[in-house]
A and B are shown apart, each in its own frame.
Chain A
């Protein structure tokens, strides 16, 4: 149970963030929730490649045997994940700016019906 705790925390983050997205009343808050969903994926990736004990960074140093470092591949994947999440957040925030300008609101519930302008 304890050895799987990071996985369960990641699942909990995903579920909580999805709840936040579904009940959101503000698009900026919704984009924040999307960031939490992505945080869950970072946690799963890092947990998959973790080695304990002793967890050493995948940087070559003197006196650190290679068998004790964590997996560098999942760390590189997490880096990719973070950059993509920052890029998508920027794009979504600029869409939010446009929605505020066109519709005068960023509450998804008041944006729901697609009406003729």
Chain B
């Protein structure tokens, strides 16, 4: 992962490079390397489709992981008995419309659109479309992920089924 300068000087190109790298790690199922991108207080969330702007403290989400749960999720997914991902889904992530929407000291608020396709055996390709809300932070001249919220556009999961992979 390339190093970056002070948060105030980070450009959209820096953020794009970072997010493309993250997407590549996930598509390659390099989950430990992906985990290394997280801050010690990172959260990963997928809100329920009917409550895209809600708070997981008072609203049921699909995923609402703190860093411990993110680590447990990765540990689970690496095992053969995470049956929903055995064999692993093939995913392909397209990220676009990347915008830095806020800066505060070492922290950046970033939004990006995503189209994630997922292929499992005996099945057509499922396409997850939506946007990410990232909280990024500069730590030791590297960008890290403090918050990662994947908001799906569809009104229900419906045919998308489960989110057993990392969206």
Partners in one complex: no
Residues of chain A touching chain B, judged by Cβ–Cβ distance below 8 Å, are none
Residues of chain B touching chain A, judged by Cβ–Cβ distance below 8 Å, are none
